Structure 1
Amino acid sequence: MPDLWLPGAERYPLSDTAPTDDEYPPKGLWHITWDKNASAAKPAPLVPFNNLVKYFTGAGKASAPHLLWDPFTGRVAQFYPASSRSKSVADRPGGTRTNRAGKVLIQVEQLFFPHCQVGGKAYATMRDTPAKGLGEILDWMRSWGVPDVWPMGAPTWRSNRDEVTWATRGGHYGHSQVPENDHTDPGPMPAWPGAKPSPLAPVFPGRGRFGPGKANGDVLRLGQQLVKRGFGKHYKVGPSRSWGEADRLNVEAFQRAQGWTGTGADGYPGPETWRRLFN
């Protein structure tokens, strides 16, 4: 079994551990602490590492990650073992799983805010930092099965969220890519060998997710992709989470464009419709 605790990390174990959802693939989730609001014209000193340790073991326990990492020194503090969920993202009752959605879901708070100043130099993004100790963190995540891919693409300062991808694809995500959350961090991340956008289409979620009376993120994702591919003319307003006749007609139009007829063009997506639509 891989190490529950990152080798070399300082340990500050919190007692409220809880299991993750084993049916989801393993993930790594990246944040920045964003302790201050600075600018290129007015950079600000980086907040001391110990201040954040004190916060996550005290008043900030309710939002503690697995790891707190200082990319300027390589120092790491760990609050939860890899087998437990941590609590750094919002998770609405009854909604998409966020803090637990993975065989492991290792969350890393990076000690950073835009235009922080260290040693007299200001740093605009995480990508600009020396990223000391990143290799050791990634090796540990790989030992838990987290693949070196960004299923939604490498993070930017813009939000990019999709429930289907989040639920079905292992790899690395930014806070800006987690359903039910509104943060835009971590921004551009340091590059590492092997890390790449995932080229695979999202896994087909099953026929039972579509049809009259169905309302879920898969219906919305289907509609958005139909529009992207030029098959959204039957929407009067736009795709939504609720299945309607416009969804069926648009799917049918896409299926007929593949040369299919009869039951092959009934307007309800199956695995091959899904594969062709997303490839």
Structure 2
Amino acid sequence: MPEVWMPQALQMDIGDHAPYDPGFPARAIAHITGDLEATAQAPLDLVPFANLKGFFTGSGRSKAPHILWDPFTGAFAQFFPATSRSRAVFDADGGFRPNRSGRVVLQVEALFFPHCRVNGQAYVRLVETPCKGWDVLNAWFSSWGIPNTWPMGRPTSLSRNTCPDEKWKSEGGWYAHAQVPENKHVDPGTWPKFPSQPSEPPPVGTQFEPFPGASFFQAGRRSPIIAAMHGRLVAEDCDRYTSSTGIDVWGPGDVRSYTAWQLKLGLEGSAADGIPGRFSWDRLGVPRV
């Protein structure tokens, strides 16, 4: 049986457990916390992860999801076991009871709102964040039989797209809060792509180059680390190089190829700019030189 409590999450059981309606397929529901209203002209600092943990274990217990996810740090907190419904969507009297309608209905709230500011940088869409931990989260959801599909399409904007009744009854997979019947919300706006198999962590015991920092990757930098990275990108079918010379020198071919790797991991926007970050670097598994 899959893990009832996500191993990587802080376990913060708030009680109030209740069963699912197993006549429906397994599904996931994606949310953003949307705590503050910011604009491009006036971005606001992201609400601390600890504040949201306190909310969902306190006054916000009646709105708690299974998982709170910080896409900037990869931190998780879990408020309900996977075997219990959570409370993050509205259930109409006599309706589908969307919190329950599935063999499982796992719900996750990403700590995010449009134009939030983290370390001085503003982010407009969730997919522009580092999305740290998304592969771990997705793997745990998948272990509960939730298919990596979006029956109503992966969300691309903050707008309603309500799922028809028959589709909700018959098709499992991932749904945006904006797509859930009986609800009016428009979140999450965007959501990262499903990870591909190469995003699995490298085998335990193998020696890899630690992340040297984004500032290491400057035009003209020569290093055996870059040559080793080159080899891994080629092995992962992310070869966007136009020359086989100078493989130890950072250049445009490295940027193109590393962008292909970031996209393969499901990263988008500024998180797929061709400059290595810790998350993508650790997943690439560059051999120690």
| Fold shared per TM-score above 0.5 | yes
Unaligned 5+ segments in structure 1 are 195-279
Q: Structure 1 stretches (4+) deviating beyond 2 angstroms?
A: none
1:67-216 aligned at under 5 Å gives the runs: 67-155=67-155, 156-161=157-162, 162-193=164-195
Distance in 1, Cα, partners of 2:19 & 2:118 = 37
1:217-236 aligned at under 5 Å gives the runs: none
Distance in 1, Cα, partners of 2:195 & 2:34 = 26
Report the equivalent of 1:65. 65
Distance in 2, Cα, partners of 1:167 & 1:50 = 36
CA-CA distance at 1:8 after TM superposition: 1.4
CA-CA distance at 1:193 after TM superposition: 3.5
Give the SS at the match of 1:135. helix
Letter in 2 for 1:12: M
Distance in 2, Cα, partners of 1:111 & 1:8 = 16
Distance in 2, Cα, partners of 1:179 & 1:2 = 28
Letter in 1 for 2:154: A
Letter in 1 for 2:88: S
Task: Say whether 1:39 aligns with 2:39.
Answer: yes
Give the SS at the match of 1:127. helix
Quote the RMSD (CA, aligned, Å). Answer: 1.2
Unaligned 5+ segments in structure 2 are 197-289
CA-CA distance at 1:163 after TM superposition: 1.8
1:241-256 aligned at under 5 Å gives the runs: none
CA-CA distance at 1:97 after TM superposition: 2.3
Letter in 1 for 2:180: V
TM-score by length of 2: 0.66
CA contact (8 A) 2:20 2:101 kept: yes
Q: Deviations over 1:138-170 (max 9, x none)?
A: 101111000000000011322111222112111
Report the equivalent of 1:8. 8
Distance in 2, Cα, partners of 1:145 & 1:135 = 16
Distance in 2, Cα, partners of 1:146 & 1:192 = 12
Q: Deviations over 1:198-254 (max 9, x none)?
A: xxxxxxxxxxxxxxxxxxxxxxxxxxxxxxxxxxxxxxxxxxxxxxxxxxxxxxxxx
Q: How many residues align?
A: 195
Letter in 2 for 1:59: S
CA-CA distance at 1:129 after TM superposition: 0.7
Report the equivalent of 1:243. none
CA-CA distance at 1:89 after TM superposition: 0.5
